Amino acid sequence: MDKITAKDIINRKQKEHRKITALTAYDFPFARLVDQAGMDIVLVGDSVGMVCLGYESTVSVVMADMIHHAKAARRAVKRALVVVDMPFGSYEDAGSAVMNAKRLVQEGGAEAVKPEGGNVIASQVKALIGEGINVMSHLGMTPQSVSKLGGYKVQGRTKKEADRIFDEALRLERLGVFSIVLECVPYSLAKRITEALKIPTLGIGAGPYTDGQVLVLHDLLGFESSVHPRFVRRYARLDDAISSALERYRNDVLAGKFPTLKESFK
């Protein structure tokens, strides 16, 4: 089984003309399942902060969190390309971007890194690529800038904003990134960008016309039922399944029904 490379991801669009599948995973057991399901990319996203660590937003996530989770996920992945998010504050300038991306590669096992933004981090992206590090970009609703963007809102609704995001995508391609995540943008903008770029786009809340799709694993599995963004399709209701299993275990212990002698040693 050959390991997927950043070049293979580009070829999915340019040569094979087939969609790219990506999902987040933050630990060994889930990364193994995501990889075994045949996903092209395992993204160790900084969404780990909200999904697994109980933070209010992704800005609380630090390098130590990302390295810890990337290491665990990387150990499980045999085939997919492992992309690791650069956390908030880890790519303020070209020097710190290179230093921290190298830590994600060397300590976390990242095969590519993903910083958020376009024009404002152009020099950082250039420096990363100059060091031979694979970069996936992230435009549109960039969660690390949530306070600047005024909340988790669709971006690129006005012509001016859409043109800016479009131009940033072109610039990132020229700088050498191998793919771009488009998060929460109108599908017409995602289509325009996808058609203009030679490198693939991955959508999340960006409609059906991107070259591939990425989702947060825990959203897809139905771990959190209180928030349900329009772009998430739940393929399971694990919150219900887990709660029911836990309740049955508790009731069985309280009622003396678990363990039985059959489940004991002589």
Tell me which residues touch ligand KIV (CB under 6 A).
Answer: 24, 45-47, 85, 138, 181, 183, 204, 214, 216
Q: CA 29, CA 146: separation in Å to the nearest integer?
A: 30
Shortest Cβ contact with ligand KIV: which residue?
Answer: 45
Q: CA 80, CA 78: separation in Å to the nearest integer?
A: 7
Query: From the CB of 117, what's the least distance to ligand KIV, in Å?
Result: 12
Tell me whether residue 56 is one of the annotated catalytic residues.
no
- Check 92, 107, 183, 263 and give the catalytic one: 183
The tokens describing 134, both together, are: 């694979």
Q: CA 214, CA 203: separation in Å to the nearest integer?
A: 6
Q: CA 85, CA 73: separation in Å to the nearest integer?
A: 13
Q: Which residues of 29-40 are buried (b: 16+ CB within 10 A; e: fewer)?
A: ebbbebbeeebb
What 3-state DSSP class applies to 187?
A: helix
Query: From the CB of 48, what's the least distance to ligand KIV, in Å?
Result: 7
If you search the block for the tokens 């029911």, which residue do you land on? 244
Contact 66, 37 (CB under 8 A): no
Query: From the CB of 234, what's the least distance to ligand KIV, in Å?
Result: 16
Question: Which of 61, 105 has the CB closer to ligand KIV?
Answer: 61
Peptide bond into 259 cis (omega under 30): yes
Question: Which of 46, 111 has the CB closer to ligand KIV?
Answer: 46
Question: Which of 199, 214 has the CB closer to ligand KIV?
Answer: 214
Query: From the CB of 226, what's the least distance to ligand KIV, in Å?
Result: 18
Question: Which of 24, 243 has the CB closer to ligand KIV?
Answer: 24
Q: Catalytic site residues?
A: 183
